[in-house]
Amino acid sequence: MAAIVTSGERVDRRTLDPAPEDSVDLAAWYVGSLDQTLAALAAAETDGPIWTFSATGDRRVAWWCRRLAVEVAIHRWDAQHAVHADGGWGPDPLDGEVAAAGIEEFVVEFLPVLLAQEDWEGLGGTLHLHATDRPAEWWIDLDAPGSALPEQPEADTAVRGTRSDLLLWLTNRGLLDSIEVSGNRGILDRWHLLRR
């Protein structure tokens, strides 16, 4: 991200310094890389033109700011989940505002691409995501594919949870006992196959 933001162009990862082979050095390498990326983002104009892999054509530095915030938050959750998978305390939830940005990003940027895969079928209807920790809702038409809908009176499937729980569920990380599902529960059987 730092190289992209600095150059404004697409960057081949093979041209960058690789991660250290010794796992002892990984944490320091990661923190240094994160600091470099944050500094590059802070120095750039938020609305400045830049290369992104946005499916909607968003070519602004702000796109990378959101992408980094969501990416780091989700993988922080992954790391805590891995460390405490032995039954100790669970990972801390994602920040609600970051999770909401991640839901928006997933619905607008990634879900249409995932649903358009040639070998994918069996997930359809309308989906209503309802946040329980702050007034926020998302209506999705899975037949469109994956396009956002204006508010609807009723959806085929409704999923309720905190913004953190909703994003974790969308990205196949959340436990089903952390959310409430009503309507067509068949979506639960198919959703985990969507992200490969």
Cα 7 from Cα 9, distance rounded (Å): 5
Name the nearest CA neighbour of 126 among 76, 187, 80: 187
CATH number at 153 reads 3.30.1050.10
Q: Are 141 and 110 part of one and the same domain?
A: yes
Q: Are 56 and 140 part of one and the same domain?
A: no
Q: Are 69 and 106 part of one and the same domain?
A: no
24-33, 100-109, 122-131, 148-157: the lowest-pLDDT one? 148-157
**What is the extent of the structural domain holding 79?**
2-83
Q: Are 141 and 181 part of one and the same domain?
A: yes
Residue 91 lies in a domain: no
Query: Global pTM?
Result: 0.89
Quickly state the pLDDT bin for 118 (edges 50, 70, 90): low
Cα 39 from Cα 6, distance rounded (Å): 10
Number of independent structural domains in the chain: 2
Higher pLDDT: 62 or 90? It is 62
Kindly report the number of other CB atoms within 10 A of residue 146's CB atom: 22
1-10, 25-34, 52-61, 118-127: the lowest-pLDDT one? 118-127
Q: What is the pLDDT of residues 47-65, one digit of tens each?
A: 989 999 999 999 999 999 9
Adjacent-strand bridge partners of 159: 129, 181
Residue 90 lies in a domain: no
Q: What Å distances lie between residue 81 and 28, 91, 145, CA to CA? A: 21, 5, 31
Cα 173 from Cα 38, distance rounded (Å): 26
